[in-house]
Amino acid sequence: MASITYARPVTEPSTTPISPAHTTTAALTWQGGRLYRQGVPHRILSGALHYFRVHPDLWRDRIRRLADLGLNTVDTYVPWNFHQPHADRAPRFDGWRDLERFVRTVDEEGLDVVLRPGPYICAEWSNGGLPSWLTGRDVALRSSDPAFTTPVGRWFDELIPRLAALQACAGGPVVAVQVENEFGSFGDDQAYLRWNRRALIARGIRELLFTADGPTELMLDGGTLPGTLTAVTLGSKPDAARELLAARRPAEPFVVAEFWNGWFDHWGERHHVREVESAVGTLRGILADGGSVSIYMAHGGTNFGLWAGANEDQGRLQPVVTSYDSDAPIAEDGGLTAKFFAVREALGAHGPLRSPARLPTLAPARVPLAHRADLLAGLRSASAPASTSTGARPATFEQLGLDAGMVLHTAHPRIPAGEHRLLLTDVRDRALVFVDGALLGVADPGAPQLPLHGTGAVVRLEVLVENLGRVNYGPGIGGHKGLLGPVLVDRRIVHGWDSTPVALQEWSTAELSEAVRGGPATTDAGFAVATVQVDSPADTFLALPGSSRGLVWVNGFLLGRYWEIGPQVTLYCPAPLLRAGENTVTVLELERLGGILELRDRPELGPPQEYVEEFD
């Protein structure tokens, strides 16, 4: 382990290693299967930490915890849709989106930075980081089609020069930049990969470029480029990956761009964990013989708001939970786990820790929820004007310019007397159906039809469609949301829809307050408010016993989704979202409000299940 460097070296190089990189000014080079930083033997000991999943006031704390873990590098993705959710507005790089501030903070803490700008990032992030305004155009995603590369080029025009100014060759901490992301798991358009690489270089990237793919011939054939360092992503079997790379790229060092030491969770499944011994054993195998690694995740953070993505299993949507704890060495709330100390030992780190094992938490408490407004009345009062369609299909999320949230569709069909079948032919992802204000039932792709009793009268038919997360991996990326097919009463198509977008993720505090005043509560669903008194802000974990599913705001900030099907029970509320004195917690319950908000001092992420699929 003597060759590990835990801070950026200041030693002047005595030799210049040979590297097939695009520039000789790069801080990281390689020769003879070894990696060098400015001529000094080096290993990348990195940890994934996503600025978009951590409150900005906690960035420095989490970066220091990565340094305490024994790492010398921080790696982060850059989600395009987080910076530019609307096509007609310039990308934002302020506040939570101040990527440059995050990178400078890493620099101030003495660590290097690896950047992964995509434009596709996966990351269990909504739409894999691609904006829905782009994927809604049905372009050939992640391809050399100019309909895709042209808007990506405009995004890179805004993003890449900011990153280039922070490179090591310019005195900054950025030492490597990834070309696309695991492209070999998606396609084989080599022209697109070459375009992506040229786009980075043309906009000023001079540091090490690399690709990252699963360690199989198929994935490496599709995702690698000549003259660009090949890294792999894996959760187990590092020796097999090392042998495969050595056979294909004998002069290159062994670099694992993602080591999955834990895993994420889906709603309705169990909480994934990975045993410490299993994770550390694989890590030691990666580090053997000078290997470099990025621990994914070193600190997972939280899918705040509605940014959690989804996967698909044979057409079945698997939405990702709000927590992105990922059983990482540094827990969602920053706590140092048993895995943290075992990984630290494996990395050879010594000395005192600068960070406490846990940050302070509020004392446990139970606070009543006051049910203030009916569900539909509240949504209508705070939402944009409806879009009217005389055709057979209501407007989709994409047609309404809506990325996340809900759409309320309204029509007025005449229902003949007797028993009928209401069928939502293609609903994405889940819909509450109301007839004359009364809940008829819940429909989803697995149960798309509901029984409907008619009297011969015209009824007010309302369908509230919820987007549970855009697919972030595989061929389903870019799929549309909403009612994608017609609504039928038996065989008859319902026409004449008004479609009201409910942009929950973009609601201002004033719009949220308007929803709470929307109308008296007449059902078990709707808007409720709890007032929480705080002497000194600290972390807390919110639970809603007895409630079914919905969303939680803290002082106007959308914390995320809760759902009784689990596994996640508590929502992490970081201290910076609270203030001394009175705090307002607003709940949008979609089906059944429990009436109590609990503040807990420990997270509850659900019954554990050791994740073995990637690690056996």
| Statement: 43-347 belongs to CATH 3.20.20.80 | yes
C-alpha distance across the termini of the chain, in Å? 26
Give the DSSP letter string of 439-475: EEEEEBTTB-EEEEEE-SSB--EEEEEE----B-SST
- Domains 365-374+506-600 and 384-502 agree in fold: yes
Total length of the chain: 616
Q: What is the largest CA-CA distance in the chain?
A: 90
* Opening angle at CA 279, ends 277 and 281, nearest 5: 65
Low-confidence ranges of the chain (pLDDT < 50): 1-21, 615-616
Rounded (10°) angle between helices 509-516 and 375-382: 140
Is 372:456 a contact under the CB 8 Å cutoff? no
What is the pLDDT, as a whole number, of residue 531?
98
What is the pLDDT, as a whole number, of residue 393?
84
What is the pLDDT, as a whole number, of residue 15?
32
What is the pLDDT, as a whole number, of residue 1?
31
Look at residues 605, 578, 597 and name the one whose alpha carbon lies nearest to residue 55: 578
pTM of the entire structure? 0.95
Q: Which residues contact 205 (CB under 8 A, 6 or more apart)?
A: 160, 163, 164, 167, 177
Domain ranges of the chain: 43-347, 365-374+506-600, 384-502
Residues marked as catalytic? 182, 258
What is the pLDDT, as a whole number, of residue 383?
77
Q: How many Cα atoms occupy the beta-carbon half-sphere of 273 within 13 Å?
A: 15
Cis peptide before 429 (omega within 30 of 0): yes
> Dihedral angle at the C-alpha atoms of 50, 52, 57, 63, nearest 10 degrees?
10
The CATH number assigned to the domain with range 365-374+506-600 reads 2.60.120.260
Is 507:164 a contact under the CB 8 Å cutoff? no
Beta bridge partner(s), residue 498: 388, 410
Residue in this structure with the two tokens 């997270």, named with its chain if needed: 603
The CATH number assigned to the domain with range 384-502 reads 2.60.120.260
Residue 438's alpha-carbon distances to 16, 47, 292, 404, 420, in angstroms, are: 74, 50, 59, 25, 17
116: buried, middle or exposed (CB in 10 Å: 19+, 13-18, 0-12)? Answer: buried
What is the pLDDT, as a whole number, of residue 18?
38
What is the pLDDT, as a whole number, of residue 4?
33
